[in-house]
Amino acid sequence: MNLATLVIGLAVATALWSGVAALNAQARASYDKAAAVLGEAGAASFVAAGSSFIPQTSYVALRRAGLPVSPVLEGTLRIGGVSYRVVGIEPLTSPKSSAGGHLATSADLEAFLKQPGRTLVAPETLAELGVAPGAQPATEQGRTLPPLAAADAVAPGLLVVDIGAAQTLLGRDGQLSRLILAAGAGTETRALPSDLRETLRIEKADETGDLARLTDSFHLNLTAFGFLAFIVGLFIVHASIGLAFEQRLTSVRTLRATGVSLKTLIAAHMCEAVMFALVTGVLGVIGGYLIAAALLPDVAASLQGLYGAHVGGHLAIDARWWLSGLGMALAGALAAYGAGLLKIARMPVLAIAKPLAWREAQALHLKRQGIAAVVALTIALAAYVGGTGLEAGFAVIAGVLLGSALLLPLVLAGVLRLGERGASSALSQWFWADTRQQLSGLSLALMALLLALAANVGVGTMVEGFRKTFTAWLDERLNSEIYFDAAGVPEAREIEAWLGQRPDVSAVLPVWKAETRIAGWPVDVFGTRDHATYRDHFTLLAQSDGAWDAMRDGRGALVSEQLARRMSLGIGDAIELPTARDTWRVPIVGLYPDYGNPKGQVRVNVDALVAHWPDARRTSYSLRVVPGRAGDLIRDMQAALGGKLARVVDQAALKTMSKQIFERTFAVTGALNTLTLLVSGVALFASLLTLSGVRLAQVAPVWALGVTRRRLGDLEVGKVVLLAAVTAVLAVPLGLALAWCLVAIVNVQAFGWRLPFHVFPSQWALIFALAVLTAFVAAIIPVVRLARTAPQDLLKVFANER
């Protein structure tokens, strides 16, 4: 039984850890592939100063000046409702380490360059599109891709085409996004021809790794959850190994008495630990692969929805997470064996088998745990007061969780002592006293249960709070009835004119956009027109007097919460926005929430936007429509404007899409949460089952004195349910503390926004019921076993010749 517990504990802990590691490795491999399309990390490039496109003539001028640059055009297009990143390259000049460079040395070069050309895609993208190599899918703008060809080096979700084909597909004739410098070329703008020094700027390699950087927080959160699950699993291992050592003490004494050296005994135990770790580690890694494969679609959808990052749909087997899983299993097993071996090493030979009186042992153990708890809580406090960054946030959470878990047996012992004092009948007194005695055997499992329940309360509170806030925020933010993108600027003008004649359209509101970077972070600058839609519904967290008037006059900007936090800016401060020509210093007149957006965002008057970014994207609009007319208007727009529209979507569809992204993002968290709770259930079950043999000797005298087996069984279930119920009650404040840490520290550090803190008592009731149910299910088998124990077996306890 002990062996099964050990194997289950270590395998489950390793499975959850390596599952999360596999998901992270898969995502990071996809980002690396995406980045490698343009060359190895470290390649700098020229971009247009102020984020506009580079004219192709600049490229020609630079080549003529002898600079080793290669042109790239990047953009996004949609096929079948899914966004894909398009990268146009010129293979003959591409860096050798890039996908284009590899192409230049391969036999496919001719096919890539000659009409109709090739679209290089990852095999996963072919599968996602549901087409065979050679197919030519059409974009939503009605343009046809060059024939698709599978290429392993291309990241999922990426379409690599010849630069000319990219310009056609994206409608950017004669325009380029960047010019990649060959490795080793100087990165000084002084090397540029004088007429280009003003229009081009160098973008260093670290500015291009946005995807990896933006998604870092997401992966850190995932890793933290995996680690929590691993720790919960380790509690099982620790409990079962501790018990195994207690049971072995007699054999150890005999072996020591017969001359086996301490060194040999320890070496034998270490070999056993390594063997268990390797066997269970392999099982765990296989389990981790299955968990990761099951969660990958949701993780991929979250990364796509939140960051626009494509992650391959098929899990790759990476030696690194295999080894990391085995390493964690080994570390866990050795840590758990360590305590037992230390005990053996320190004890005199003849004292080893003398069990320490339980009360004395428990008191000593509780004292040590109390000290460890104080240390953990002090570390948490120190991290809260003195730490900065996401790591400090997680240190606070880890300290609070660990400290509280270590305090649990102390608190439970106190509660049980109070219960014992208040009990009047002999059986109830025995019930409380015996539960207290049982505590030491169950404390690790109960600590695991506390952590799992607190994680459920904490994450549940955070997710529900986020859902509530996000839904309300979406309702206010997405106030217009229709949103559309025009295919280009001339088309946008035509559409505006067409809409102007519609009596059911009450306002045409431009939502034009320029892109810039502040302190290396990507920032979207939106230009909007003054309208009641914003004044009445756009939620501001803080604003100065006359904020909307300042916006209207181009004298102020609204800044997203995460950008303001990152830049340590507030109302009244000025934000410096690098524009196409210069730096625009504009006062901040309002701060607004922008939940879920990894980029920074600024909102200014649309005319001010165009004045500072003449090439801003002027194709997105929202429409205010007479109630009940949105559906008809969309149909009319599609019929009358056809190809002039790149996209048109109504408010409900946009909200549904946003909520779907939200739900899938937290589906992963939910799944990990459930798995953690399951692990703690297994821990409780395993501990009870292992203890049931020991329990026989403790309950048999009570049975002999005239308490029926049935009654004893009921009392045994009652004890476990009582312990779980008290643990669940304690898990609520701990879970709320965890939620507070997530909302006030981790979210702010990871994403830059802070959620209002809501509590959901109905959720607590559910968690409480779940804990009691978990305890009941875990207790029922050992208790049924006890209740069905034949009197002959119970009598063995009293037999003289045991």
Partner 1 sequence: MLRGVDLALARGESLALLGESGSGKSTLLHLIGGLDDADGGEIVLDGVHLTGQSDGDRSELRRERVGIVFQQFNLVPSLTVAGNLAFQARIAGRFDAAWQKELVGRLGLEGLERRYPEQLSGGQQQRVAIGRALAVKPRLLLADEPTGNLDEATGDDVLGLALDLVAATGCGFLMATHSTRLAQRLDRQVTLAKGVLVVP
Sites of contact with partner 1 (CB under 8 A) = 357-359, 425-427, 429-430, 433-434, 436-437, 698, 700-710, 791-792, 794-795, 797-802
From residue 15, alpha-carbon distances to 7, 226, 487 in Å are 12, 9, 48
| Dist CA 676 CA 381 (whole Å) | 26
Nearest approach, Cβ of residue 447 and partner 1 (Å):
21
Q: Which C-beta is closer to partner 1: that of 406 or that of 412?
A: 412
Closer to partner 1 by CB, 298 or 434: give it: 434
Burial of 421 (0-12, 13-18, 19+ CB in 10 A): exposed
Cβ proximity to partner 1: between 64 and 710 the closer is 710
Inter-residue contact 561 to 593 (CB < 8 Å):
yes
How far apart are CB 698 and partner 1 at their closest, in Å?
6
Nearer to partner 1, 179 or 700 (CB): 700
Give the start-end residues of each E strand in 158-271.
158-162, 175-176, 178-181, 200-203
Produce one character per residue of 604-641: b if its CB has 16 or more CB atoms within 10 Å, e if not: bbbebbbbbbeebbbbbbbbbbeeebbeebbeebeeeb
Residue 152 or 360: the one with the smaller Cβ distance to partner 1 is 360
**Shortest Cβ distance from residue 708 to partner 1 (Å)?**
5
Cα(362)–Cα(443) distance, integer angstroms: 11
Output the smallest distance, CB 542 to partner 1, in A: 60
Other C-beta atoms lying within 10 Å of the C-beta of residue 300: 23
**If 0-12 CB within 10 Å is exposed, 13-18 middle and 19+ buried, where does residue 661 land?**
middle
In the complex, what is the shortest distance from the CB of residue 364 to partner 1, in angstroms, rounded to a whole number? 14
DSSP 520-577: TEEEEEEEE---HHHHHH---SEE-TTHHHHHHTTS-EEEEHHHHHHHT--TT-EEEE
Nearer to partner 1, 11 or 412 (CB): 412
Q: Sign (positive/negative) of CA torsion 208, 214, 217, 220?
A: negative
CA dihedral sign of residues 639, 643, 645, 651: positive
Tell me, what DSSP letter sits at residue 139?
P
For residue 133, say if its preceding peptide bond is cis, omega within 30 degrees of 0.
Answer: no
Smallest gap from Cβ 792 to partner 1, in A, equals 7
| Token couple for 599 | 């980029």
Give the integer Cα–Cα distance in Å for 621 and 638: 15
Tokens 């097993």 belong to 333
Q: Smallest gap, in angstroms, from Cβ of residue 440 to partner 1?
A: 12
Report, in Å, the least distance between residue 598 CB and partner 1.
57
Give CA–CA dist 381/395, Å, rounded: 9
User: Which of 582/793 has CB closer to partner 1?
Assistant: 793
Helix (H) or strand (E) holding 299: helix 262-307
- Taking the least distance from each CB to partner 1, the nearer of 275 and 427 is 427
Closest separation between CB of residue 801 and partner 1, Å?
Answer: 6
Question: Min. distance of Cβ 329 from partner 1 in angstroms?
Answer: 37
**C-beta of 266 vs 787, nearer to partner 1:** 787
The residue (of 426 and 640) whose beta carbon lies closer to partner 1 is 426
Least distance from partner 1 to the Cβ atom of residue 710, Å: 8
Query: Residue 92 or 363: which CB sits closer to partner 1?
Result: 363
Residue type at 319? A
Looking at residue 474, its amino acid is L
CB of 679 to partner 1, least distance (A): 30
Nearer residue to partner 1 within complex by CB, 231 or 416: 416
Q: Which residue has the tokens 């119920």?
A: 725
Least distance (Å) between residue 707 CB and partner 1: 6
Q: Which is nearer to partner 1, 359 or 493 (CB)?
A: 359
Cα of first residue to Cα of last residue in the chain, in angstroms, is 21
Residue type, 148: L
